[in-house]
């Protein structure tokens, strides 16, 4: 599926049928890396399902996409069904900091967009990053937002983990690769 087709599919689930331009570019970048993975993907912070949808629509058919969020509104469940992703997406209700204690799935891609606070972002990267395969991708949203607390967490994480290299920072989306 092309990025434009992914956008149109996802946008059909939202009032107005549009994803705002800045976030559209984030979804395209996420889709581009999701196409390259084989093992599972984790989306932290399901929200309305846009990132989850892009990751699941772009990744290979056998790749499972997990998404953690304490809130799972009916609209999210409806979108996943309407986008034809019921067999590929696995929703994990709960807070990522609680779920991590029982997490035992190896991952090729992690997208962190849950709690936008310094400590939460850094500890999510640390704890879930342990399950990331070498060559896998660690992506974060909102690098410059939230008074730059997210960016500070990302910068510190990268300084302290020289086994990751920065690939991209564009429109608030930061992507690193585990070496």
Ligand X SMILES: C[S@@+](CC[C@H](N)C(=O)[O-])C[C@H]1O[C@@H](n2cnc3c(N)ncnc32)[C@H](O)[C@@H]1O
The residue ranges that bind ligand X (CB under 6 A) are 44-51, 68-71, 95-97, 113-115
Rounded to an integer, what is the distance from CA 133 to the centroid of its chain? 16
Q: Least separation, in Å, of the C-beta of 98 and ligand X? A: 8
Q: Least separation, in Å, of the C-beta of 103 and ligand X? A: 12
Q: Which is nearer to ligand X, 145 or 179 (CB)?
A: 145
Q: Which is nearer to ligand X, 27 or 132 (CB)?
A: 27
Determine the 3-state secondary structure of 175 from DSSP. Answer: strand
Q: Which is nearer to ligand X, 45 or 136 (CB)?
A: 45
Q: Least separation, in Å, of the C-beta of 161 and ligand X? A: 21
152 and 122 Cβ atoms separated by less than 8 Å: no
Q: Which is nearer to ligand X, 20 or 159 (CB)?
A: 20
Q: Least separation, in Å, of the C-beta of 62 and ligand X? A: 23
Per DSSP, 145 falls in state -
Identify which of 32, 42, 21, 30 has the alpha carbon closest to the alpha carbon of residue 109: 42
Give Cα separations from 14 to 58, 85, 159 (angstroms).
19, 16, 38
Q: Least separation, in Å, of the C-beta of 36 and ligand X? A: 20
Q: Residue 25 and residue 21: Cα distance in Å, rounded? A: 6
112 and 124 Cβ atoms separated by less than 8 Å: yes
* Other beta carbons less than 10 A from residue 47's beta carbon: 16
């Amino acid at each position: 599926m092309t990025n434009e087709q992914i956008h149109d599919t996802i946008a059909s689930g939202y009032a107005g049928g549009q994803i705002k331009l800045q976030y559209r570019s984030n979804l395209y970048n996420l889709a581009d890396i999701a196409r390259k993975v084989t093992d599972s993907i984790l989306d932290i912070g399901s929200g309305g399902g846009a990132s989850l949808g892009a990751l699941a629509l772009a990744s290979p058919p056998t790749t499972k996409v997990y998404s953690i969020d304490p809130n799972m509104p009916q609209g999210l469940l409806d979108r996943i069904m309407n986008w034809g992703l019921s067999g590929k997406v696995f929703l994990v209700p709960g807070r990522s900091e609680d779920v991590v204690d029982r997490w035992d799935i190896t991952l090729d891609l992690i997208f962190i967009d849950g709690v936008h606070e310094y400590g939460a972002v850094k500890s999510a990267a640390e704890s879930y990053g342990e399950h990331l395969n070498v060559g896998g991708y660690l992506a974060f949203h909102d690098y410059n937002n939230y008074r730059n607390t997210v960016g500070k967490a990302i910068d510190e994480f990268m300084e302290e983990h020289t086994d990751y290299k920065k690939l991209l920072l564009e429109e608030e989306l930061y992507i690193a690769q585990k070496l």
